[in-house]
Amino acid sequence: MGLPQRVFYSVYEAAARWGCTISDIAGWAAMGTLRIVTGIPPVACGDARIAGLVRIEPMDILPMFRRSEAGPREAQLRRVQPLEAQDWLYITAPEEGVAVSLGDLMILG
């Protein structure tokens, strides 16, 4: 019995496989060609509580995707989109948002 198809690829692994940069991946995600996701702990978004796998908007953390790789390795997410949702939700607690690093970012397989 073979293994199931992979569900996630890290942005680093995808860039290496495709022969591109993480900046390219961020651009494709910003244009809707693919989705970048990450996992978050429980947070409040107004009256709602969400946790787990969420979509992120790369333009919200753009400095992490600099072509020079001189940008920060971590940023604060302030809005997320649950995978089954159509709307973006703003994180209200914790007020500073959720810390995410480049290693936490994945592309759905």
Residue 106 binned pLDDT confidence (cut-offs 50, 70, 90): very high
Q: Is the pTM of this model over 0.85?
A: yes
pLDDT of residue 52: 95
pLDDT of residue 1: 75
Residue 36 CA neighbour count, 13 Å, CB half: 32
DSSP annotation of 93 reads B
For the chain, what are the domain ranges? 8-108
Nearest-CA neighbor of 36 among 44, 28, 46?
A: 28
Write the pLDDT tens digit of every residue in 14-68. Answer: 999 999 999 999 999 999 899 999 999 999 999 999 999 999 999 999 889 888 7
